[in-house]
Amino acid sequence: MTNALRSVAKTAAAASVIALTAGTGAAMAQDSLTLGLQLEPPHMDPTSAAAGAIDQVVYANVFEGLTRFGPDGSVNPSLARSWDISEDGLTYTFHLVEGAKFHDGTDFEATDVVFSLDRARAEDSVNAQKSLFAGIESVEALDPATVQVTLSAPDGMFLFKMAWGDAVMVAPESIETITTNPVGTGAFTFGNWVQGDSITLQKNPDYWGEPAMLDSATFKFISDPTAAFAAMMAGDVDVFVAFPAPENLPQFDADPRYNVLIGNTEGETIVAMNNARPPFDNKLVREAVAHAINRQDIIDGAMFGYGTPIGTFFAPHNPDYVDLTEMSAYDPEAAKALLEEAGVELPLSVKMTLPPTSYARRGGEIVAAQLREVGIVAQIENVEWAQWLENTFRNAHDYDLTIISHTEPMDIASLADPDYYTGYDNPAFREVIDQIAVESDPEVRSDLLGQAQTMLAEDYVAGFLFELPLHTVAKTGVEGLWINMPTQATDLTGVYWDN
């Protein structure tokens, strides 16, 4: 529509438009922000569900832990301003910040830490990451501002574990209603939830630390990619985190009204192979698959060109990452030779189970086509998320190939479990992982992590594809957003409008 025509139409309808917009609160003041998210949290308790959508709203904004993740994935002080670690690495003494209050006005004290940690590790706990707390022997309040945590074995990752959204501090006074009215210590208080539509957070005027720069923030839940695009273009939302329509990103990029932020998540996206049963119990067959896959084609075809290639099960932005992509470089001739060496009968027929995410469905088609080139016929089976969890991931591990992104930070250790769905069983790998768990010297750790990554690449445990990218589209002028997503979070404490 031409501008002239548009303005005529506008004038013609001016009266009604003025009437229509009157009630909706005209031009938004520049101290509030509307964010679009694809998934709505089921409830507001980050300590009793795995739903990343919960942390996406409340982490760092409403709830805080003893430590917290920074935008680069580093572990920083939060409600614990400092800590001492005993010589043997078993006792952590946390010194809590002063003057911190929960949003209901009660003080944040050492007893709240004891309550939160004991609740998470209790017998009947429904914490989705209960293993984070498994190493805790006891939690004691020494005085209102000091907590002592004793571990059963030294744990180099303990402070990292305490930064997770599942380890945030909650209060006994408000725990009963946490699912609908979360009461934390953060820079934002929970405002209003219109279920199915939006959640509003308000600035916490009594925050103990650096106060938030926004007065309020509204998360709107828009699951449909086309609707997300429309909402952004119509100006209904200011920021869309994890924008679901990557095909539209160039259009936003070219438009001076918008900024496109391209970052990384912690999501290692892999073609998982069932190491526990034929044909993928044979390393040669797995190696053949790894060489048959052309990562760049998949990134271009399924991800619109976004995504960093990976050669092992580790995030490429991590300082300890080792680039091993060459070991599984695209080489269909080598793949054919390996299949011959393995003595499998061609064409080799396997089943590829795909969960509903777009990277899996789109990527699966391409992987299947590439495998066909070397004589592996992958029958694609599309399943729902619930079915995937039940049949592929848990219980029977009834699959040959599947495509999935592992989004937990530092999840390399999960592959050490032979009962994990990958079915990878290597005692040497387990031993390295066990050493990493108790090692706190950064240099030794880094070396061990390198060894572990190399083992996975040498054993061709899976087809390693790419690190899942994070696209955020924001209106020009919104500053302070996280570019990467080291944990599921939309940290708004440093976000502001600059214009």
Partner 1 sequence: MLRFTLTRLLSLCLSLAVASVVIFAAIEVLPGDPASIMLGVNAQPDTLAALRAELGLDQPMAARYLDWIGGLLRGDFGISYTYRTPVVEMIGDRLAVSLPLALFSLALTIVIAFPVGIWAAARRGSVADVAIMGLTQLGVAIPNFWFAMLMVLVFAINLQWFSAGGFAGWDAGLFPALKSLTLPAIALALPQASILARVMRSALLDTLSEDFIRTARAKGLSRREALWRHALRNALIPVLTIIGMQFSFLLAGGIIIENVFYLPGLGRLIFQAISARDLIVVESVVMLLVFAVIVVNFLVELAYAAVDPRLRAR
Beta-carbon contacts of 57 under 8 Å, excluding residues fewer than 6 positions away, are 37, 41, 44, 199, 201, 219, 490
**Smallest distance, Å, CB 166 to partner 1?**
9
- DSSP state letters, 389-428: IIIIISTT---SEEEEEE-STT-GGGGG-TTSTT----HH
Beta-carbon contacts of 417 under 8 Å, excluding residues fewer than 6 positions away, are none
**Smallest distance, Å, CB 118 to partner 1?**
15
Q: Tokens 């300890």 correspond to what residue?
A: 320
The residues binding partner 1 (CB under 8 A) are 1, 6, 9-10, 13, 17, 19-20, 22-24, 40, 42-43, 45, 49-51, 123-131, 179-180, 194-198, 220-224, 226-227, 230-231, 233-236, 384-387, 389-391, 393-394, 408, 414
Distance CA 194, CA 212 (A): 23
Neighbours of 352 (CB within 10 A): 23
The SS3 of residue 216 is strand
Distance CA 292, CA 273 (A): 14
**Smallest distance, Å, CB 382 to partner 1?**
14
The SS3 of residue 261 is strand
Strand partners, 149: 92, 139
Phi (first) and psi of residue 370, to 5 degrees: -70, -40
Looking at the Cβ atoms of 111 and 357, the one nearer to partner 1 is: 357
Q: Which among 204, 246, 166, 222 is positioned nearest to 468, based on CA atoms?
A: 246
Looking at the Cβ atoms of 226 and 476, the one nearer to partner 1 is: 226
**Smallest distance, Å, CB 400 to partner 1?**
19
Long-range Cβ contacts of 436-439 (<8 Å, 24+ apart): 436/156, 437/155, 437/156, 437/157, 437/413, 438/89, 438/153, 438/154, 438/155, 438/156, 439/156
Distance CA 434, CA 156 (A): 11
Give the chain's length: 499
Looking at the Cβ atoms of 25 and 343, the one nearer to partner 1 is: 25
Looking at the Cβ atoms of 8 and 142, the one nearer to partner 1 is: 8
**Smallest distance, Å, CB 475 to partner 1?**
14
Sign for the pseudo-dihedral over CA of 384, 389, 395, 400: positive
**Smallest distance, Å, CB 48 to partner 1?**
8
Looking at the Cβ atoms of 109 and 268, the one nearer to partner 1 is: 268
**Smallest distance, Å, CB 314 to partner 1?**
18
**Smallest distance, Å, CB 38 to partner 1?**
10
Looking at the Cβ atoms of 54 and 149, the one nearer to partner 1 is: 54
Helices 14-22, 3-12: inter-axial angle, 10-degree rounding: 70
Looking at the Cβ atoms of 233 and 334, the one nearer to partner 1 is: 233
Looking at the Cβ atoms of 488 and 493, the one nearer to partner 1 is: 488
169-203 burial, b if ≥16 CB within 10 A, otherwise e?
A: bbbeebeeebeeebbbbbbbbbeebeeeebbbbbb
Please tell me what DSSP assigns to residue 212.
P
Looking at the Cβ atoms of 45 and 491, the one nearer to partner 1 is: 45
Question: Residue 255 has which token pair?
Answer: 């438009």
**Smallest distance, Å, CB 42 to partner 1?**
4
Looking at the Cβ atoms of 40 and 112, the one nearer to partner 1 is: 40
Q: Which among 139, 136, 79, 141 is positioned nearest to 110, based on CA atoms?
A: 141
Q: Which among 27, 478, 33, 63 is positioned nearest to 216, based on CA atoms?
A: 33
Looking at the Cβ atoms of 49 and 457, the one nearer to partner 1 is: 49
**Smallest distance, Å, CB 499 to partner 1?**
19
Looking at the Cβ atoms of 30 and 391, the one nearer to partner 1 is: 391
**Smallest distance, Å, CB 351 to partner 1?**
16
**Smallest distance, Å, CB 325 to partner 1?**
25
